Amino acid sequence: MKADWFKSAIVYQIYPRSFLDSNGDGIGDLRGIISKVDYLKTLGVNALWLSPFYPSPNDDNGYDVSDYLGVHPDFGSLDDFYELSTSLKKAGIRLIIDMVLNHSSDEHTWFIQSSKSVEGPYSDYYIWKDSAGKDSEGRPIAPNNWTSIFGGSAWKWCETRQQFFLHLFTAKQPDLNWENPTVREELYSIVDTWAKRGVDGFRLDVINFISKKESFPDVPDELVNSPDKHYACGPRIHEFMQEFNRKVLAPNSSMTVGETPGIEASAAALYCNRDRNELDMIFGFDHMSTDHGPGGIWDPVDFRYDEFFDILTYWQNHMEKLNGWNSLYVENHDQPRFISRICEDQNYLKECAGLVATMLLTLKGTPYIYQGQEIGTSNVAFESIQDYQDIWTMNHYNESLELDHQPGEILKRIHCCSRDNARTPMQWNSNSQAGFTEGTPWMKPNPQYLDVNVEKALQNNESIFYLYQKLIALKKSDDVLVNGLFKRIKTNSDRVFAYTRSDGLDQRLILLNFSRQQRTFEEISMGDYRLLFSSQKQPDSLSLKPYEGRIYSS
Ligand code: TEU
Ligand code: CA
């Protein structure tokens, strides 16, 4: 029997750097997390996903790993890790850790060795290519036109080897060569070690990028702004996934969720179809781009609600049909705060947070809640670029300056699109630095912390925190919300996303009003439905309030 605890898991994601600093150095750490296990228990989640905590030069905040088996001293020690793991077990919370296996840091010993010479045991650990000749100034020309997701060419010249190496992310994140069986064995053994150390599951960073098209063809013009679509799902991807599963994941009964940018539901389902023995779940991206224009993440446009509902419906239906399982998320450490994306009137941020919670906990799949989402954290708008930290954000700023964009205009884009929106320190209370640290935080807190923080949320029984708590408890106690079939109901009210979940006997009806206007729902025959939950106080009998979410039971 395959373990399928993940189907009833409710996952909380922690970005360790920004969660809680226990020793005043301004950086969140494992001991900070240990001290908040009770908080997670109060919320009711039963799984925790930790973003990377490994040694790293932090070019990309830990997604550039220089030692896969260690703990970065900023975050603590391996003993702290074991202590965290033990206290999570006691609290009934499973532990999922992040594995970045598409690339390592250029400061990993493998890369240091590999870049020294075209011969030797590490020479084929990364993707090395000869130049495609020299330009008019005698500089080597990159092997093809691939661009890094974070901007610029995806190739960097190495003087010592007189070759280019591939980096789909920053130049300090060279891509590992999965074609080399020794590399695969090394990576499997790392995952095996963590499983033996007591980890229950793995979140696999950009796992659908690991197999490259070995002819390294140019990116076609139409994909220049979305290179992820071009890099996704190389020819050997499913072979690698099945080998990975057979050699480490299955023997350890590890749960997996793969991050898979650039693919749609039917391709995605190949990874998590139960009979294919690859992964348990994947993170799709389609629903996270319904406020992107043709230019991608730095091209913000109005939120396209209909498209958002259609995409979610499509994924729900496809995963059902293709025997896969959905992951449900609207936030993580890479995404701006979702309530800021959908809310058309900042006075309704709180209502939006309740609405989103109702959706996340009632669609079919495993919900992922990102730190701070449960108290209604929204985007930040720092006035100075100095206050931003993220490498992608800095690259965008500098590239835009070169294109003569005005700093004010660039900052405006950063305010709505930067990944740093998700990385401001967790807001614990109204004390200095939001209670995140007693020192100087590595990044300033969002000034909203004076109003929006955990301490206030816990004192107010009408807070978003308690809505999440209630919905989590409801999901845990209701098998229809876990396994019931999803069916969308078309309504005449635009901006109302409505669906049922049913197991043949029992049914739940979910109504979500994504507008700042009241919406009636006369067209839905309410029959014997009884109201189980509303995200707002004193729900009206005939209409949904602005941004109200409801659950009915048959
Ligand atoms: O994210 C992958 C990533 O940045 C892209 O897939 C991007 O989100 C997408 O193409 C948008 O269209 C992962 C990590 O979550 C992120 O924090 C890392 O920076 C990145 O990989 C590199 O490890
Ligand atoms: Ca610290």
Q: How far apart are CA 436 and CA 22, in angstroms?
A: 9
CA-nearest residue for atom 9, ligand 1, is 261
Residue 253 has which token pair? 């009964």
Q: Report the sign of the C-alpha dihedral through residues 408, 414, 416, 421, in that order.
A: negative
Question: Which pLDDT value is given to residue 1?
Answer: 52
Sole residue written with tokens 């500098």: 398
Question: Which pLDDT value is given to residue 242?
Answer: 98
Q: What is the pLDDT of residues 407-452, one digit of tens each?
A: 999 999 999 999 999 999 999 999 999 999 999 999 999 999 999 9
Ligand 1 atom having least distance to the Cα of 100: 23
Question: Which pLDDT value is given to residue 2?
Answer: 65
Q: How far apart are CA 317 and CA 441, in angstroms?
A: 44
Question: Which pLDDT value is given to residue 229?
Answer: 87
DSSP letters of 407-474?
HHHHHHHHHHH-GGGGTSPP---SSGGGGS-SS--SSPPPGGGGTS-HHHHHH-TTSHHHHHHHHHHH
Ligand 1 atom having least distance to the Cα of 419: 17
Question: Which pLDDT value is given to residue 523?
Answer: 66
For residue 504, CA distances in Å to 484, 497, 528 come to 8, 22, 16
Ligand 1 atom having least distance to the Cα of 228: 10
Question: Residue 220: CB partners within 8 Å, gap ≥ 6?
Answer: 230
CB atoms under 10 Å from CB of 539, counted, come to: 15
Ligand nearest to the CA of 283: 1
422, 15 Cβ separation under 8 angstroms: yes
Question: Residue 83: CB partners within 8 Å, gap ≥ 6?
Answer: 30, 34
Ligand 1 cavity residues, CB under 6 Å: 60, 63, 100, 149, 169, 205-206, 228, 259, 261, 285, 297, 333-334
Ligand 1 atom having least distance to the Cα of 392: 19
β-strand pairing of 543-544 with 519-520: antiparallel
- Centre of ligand 2 to C-alpha 441, Å, is 9
- The neighbourhood of ligand 2, an ion, using CB within 5 A, equals 21, 23, 25, 27, 29
381, 410 Cβ separation under 8 angstroms: no
For residue 109, CA distances in Å to 54, 68, 114, 122, 189 come to 14, 11, 8, 9, 16
Give 452: exposed, middle or buried? Use CB within 10 Å, 0-12, 13-18, 19+: buried
Pocket test for ligand 1, best of 233, 334, 389, 394 (most atoms within 8 A of CB): 334
User: Can you give the pTM of this predicted structure?
Assistant: 0.97
- Extract the residue ranges of the chain whose pLDDT is less than 70: 1-2, 523
Task: Tell me the catalytic residues.
Answer: 205, 259
Pocket test for ligand 1, best of 14, 167, 206 (most atoms within 8 A of CB): 206
- Centre of ligand 1 to C-alpha 133, Å, is 31
Question: Which pLDDT value is given to residue 358?
Answer: 98
Question: Which pLDDT value is given to residue 48?
Answer: 98
Residue 199's closest CA among 249, 127, 244? 249
